[in-house]
Amino acid sequence: MQRIIKDKNIKWWLGCGSCIILFLIIAVFAWEKMSFLVKGVQIEASIERSSTSLAHIVGKARHATYITLNGREIFIDKDGSFSEPVALIPGFSVITIDTEDKFGNTKEKNFQLVYKESAGTVAMLK
């Protein structure tokens, strides 16, 4: 066995090495293109506050096909971006964003807010 490996010339080694490198490049490319199947939906969201009791939930849901805000369906553009107004009530509020992709993977993100009407401020709890 050792003699067979030692008898190979440089052309054979370059051919085998280039095939291995090509296979690794294809495998990395395929992983990058298909990794969303493993990762599922990714949610990035934040709250933009105005001077009234109205706040806007702004964010991006990558690979999402269906998204709800507190159980109400909201619409996303082709990039997954969304912006939706939410009326705040005085006191403690929970805002829930649920998403689903075309493979049935789901993800949920919660915001806990405390709105003080007299001060006109919102505190976000994690």
Over the stretch 2-26, which tens digit does the pLDDT of each residue have?
A: 667 667 788 888 899 999 999 999 9
Element holding 44 (H helix, E strand): strand 42-49
Per-residue pLDDT tens digits for 31-58: 888 877 777 788 888 888 766 778 888 9
Amino acid at 41: V
* Bridge partners of residue 112, in order along the sequence: 94, 125
Return the pLDDT at 34: 83
The DSSP code sequence of 62-115 is ET-SEEEETTEEE---TT-EEEEEEE--SEEEEEEEEEE-TTS-EEEEEEEEEE
Task: Tell me the C-alpha distance between 80 and 66, whole Å.
Answer: 10
